[in-house]
Amino acid sequence: MWNKGVKLLISLCLLSSILIGCQQNQDVVEETKNEVEFTVCHEENLPKELKQLIEKKKEKPFHLSYTTKEYAYIAVGYGEQNMGGYSIQVLSLYETPSQVVIETNLKGPLPSEKKQGISYPYVVVKIQNPDKTISFR
């Protein structure tokens, strides 16, 4: 009888330690994010090689980055669209200890801005070369 009681007590102790070990950590540390200053680049201000890359990829959605010693160019394209008048909004561009993250959104044209013909909307932003991975969201 005493043996059953000891076994039950040991089983309860083990079960409670397992349950305590499986608790979710409430002290989740949020990764630090710092906004990154950027400039939206017009096509005429892009490096020649980057223009060529965009021209090759513009028919389908794309994400690419191009770096020089001084700058990083981040390009996001939304592929072929049935009409013109689209714009691309940079929702956020921030840096963490390990990467630079860009989030964009394609905004459709207002009825008054709709243009006939096919378009290939994309945006290119220029930042100081962070020497980090670029992540697209």
Say what the pLDDT of residue 112 is: 78
Say what the pLDDT of residue 107 is: 95
Number of CB atoms found within 10 A of residue 103's CB:
14
Say what the pLDDT of residue 115 is: 81
Say what the pLDDT of residue 4 is: 64
pTM above threshold 0.85? no
Which residues are registered as beta bridge partners of 71? 128
- Greatest Cα pair distance in the chain: 88
- Give the Cα separation of 42 and 54 in Å (integer): 13
Half-sphere exposure of 38 (CA within 13 A, CB side): 27
Determine the 3-state secondary structure of 64 from DSSP: strand
Residue 100: name the closest of 35, 26, 48, 51 by CA. Answer: 35
Residue 36: name the closest of 106, 90, 107, 105 by CA. Answer: 90
Q: What is the chain's pLDDT, residue by residue, as a tens digit (137 residues)?
A: 556 655 655 655 555 555 555 555 444 445 689 999 999 999 999 999 999 999 999 999 999 999 999 999 999 999 999 999 999 999 999 999 999 999 999 999 888 777 888 999 999 999 999 999 999 99
CA distances from 134 to 44, 48, 57, 73 (A): 23, 21, 18, 10
